[in-house]
Amino acid sequence: MTRLHLHLLSDSTGETLENIAKAGIAQFENVEAIRHFWPMVRSDVHLDRIMEEISLNPGIVLFTLANSQLRRRLENRCRALGLPHVAPLDAVTDALSNILGQEARNRPGRKHILDEAYFARIEAIQFTIAHDDGVGHENWEEADIVLAGVSRASKTPTSIYLANRGYKTANIPLVPESPPPRNLYGLKHPMVVGLTISPERLVQVRRNRLLSLNQAPETAYVDIERVQEEVAFARRMFADNGWPVIDMTRRSIEEAAAAIINLFNERVLAE
């Protein structure tokens, strides 16, 4: 296992840098990335303190700094320490500048201006949190997406991820002994998506959940025959209602959300 110190410096929240770093590290095997997160870097004093920490844990430095003087200071310090340093947005900005025929307006945190999209994302997050696990079903018509699935099928984390992408998302657990609210079957605006998972994988997830709560791992909740019945019940419901289905058995939350967003966009285009 190779250990790598990864320093992320941003003059704003650093969300973009973090996503780039995650995507890059995911391309390599047997790498333990130790991320050091340095947001809101906007002064020489702050930068100097950070460089002291970086010198103690040398590694690669990724940065997005709009202030040219601060950027040069960082680059000079990195060269002095012999550290690789990369501004990952430079190539994109330069290409856009050439195509558009204008200089980029460098402003710290410009990409996070509080515009309509920002407030829409906050609203989506608030809606999603308030409509988790079947709560607030009377407001489901206001949702963009409703996720349905058995317990521990990754409904909540997928909902939160979608909310961070700006989609109002509700979710409902499917339990054979407790039918879901009737309005689930008559929704017009939201796209209902079924989340399924193999019974074997589901038993493993549920058992780990019980152990983490210091509860007995041998109950009907993890009985394989019972779980098979639950999954079959959910699949029949998906098929009877013509809802698209995402299999979570081998999918990450990010992959599942991307597939759901594609389905949503196709639905919008078809309307």
Residues making up the annotated binding site for ADP are 149-156
Q: Report the 10 Å Cβ neighbour count for 70.
A: 20
DSSP 175: B
For residues 136 and 151, what is the distance between their CA atoms, to the nearest angstrom? 18
Ramachandran quadrant class, 99 (left: phi over 0; alpha: psi -120 to 50; beta: rest): alpha
Residue numbers in the known binding site are 149-156
- What's the Cα-to-Cα distance from 208 to each of 58, 100, 218, rounded to whole Å? 37, 53, 11
For residues 105 and 117, what is the distance between their CA atoms, to the nearest angstrom? 20
For residues 265 and 260, what is the distance between their CA atoms, to the nearest angstrom? 9
Q: Which pair of structure tokens corresponds to residue 74?
A: 């960082």
